[in-house]
Amino acid sequence: MTKTLAIAGPTASGKSALALSAAQRWPIEIISVDSALVFRGMDIGTAKPSAAELAAAPHHLIDILDPTEAYSAAQFVADAARLIAEVHGRGRHALLVGGTMLYFKALVNGLDAMPGADPTVRAAIDARAASEGWPALHAELQRVDAITAARLAPNDAQRIQRALEVWQLSGEPLSAWHGRRAMPAMALPMLSLEPGSRAWLHERIAQRFEAMLAAGLVDEVRHLRARDDLHLGLPSMRCVGYRQAWECLDAGDVSPLRERGIAATRQLAKRQLTWLRSMPARTVVACDAPDAPAQALAHLERLLQ
Name the phi and psi angles at 183, rounded to 5: -90, 145
pLDDT at 234: 86
Q: What's the residue count for the chain?
A: 305
Tens-digit pLDDT profile for residues 25-38: 999 999 999 999 99
- Dmax (CA) of the chain: 59
Average pLDDT for the chain: 93
What is the mean pLDDT of the segment spanning 241-258?
97
Who wins on pLDDT, 19 or 1? 19
pLDDT at 281: 84
Q: At what angle do helices 257-277 and 242-251 cross, to 10 degrees?
A: 150
pLDDT at 71: 85
What are the CB-based long-range contacts (under 8 Å, 24+) for 247-251?
249/218, 249/221, 249/222, 249/225
CA distances from 266 to 84, 180, 205, 288 (A): 31, 35, 7, 16
| CA 1 – CA 225 distance, rounded (Å) | 48
Tens-digit pLDDT profile for residues 56-110: 999 999 999 999 998 888 889 989 999 999 999 999 999 999 999 989 988 888 7
Tens-digit pLDDT profile for residues 176-189: 887 665 667 788 99
According to DSSP, residue 123 is labeled H
3-state SS assignment for residue 251: helix
pLDDT at 228: 93
pLDDT at 179: 62
> How buried is 206 (Cβ within 10 angstroms: 0-12 exposed, 13-18 middle, 19+ buried)?
middle
CA distances from 227 to 44, 66, 83 (A): 18, 12, 32
pLDDT at 74: 81
What is the mean pLDDT of the segment spanning 264-277?
96
| CA 194 – CA 171 distance, rounded (Å) | 28
Residue 265: is its pLDDT beyond 90? yes
| CA 51 – CA 29 distance, rounded (Å) | 16
User: Does residue 234 come out as left (phi exceeding 0), alpha (psi in the -120 to 50 range) or beta?
Assistant: beta
**pTM for this one?**
0.79
pLDDT at 278: 87
Residue 112: is its pLDDT beyond 70? no
pLDDT at 31: 98
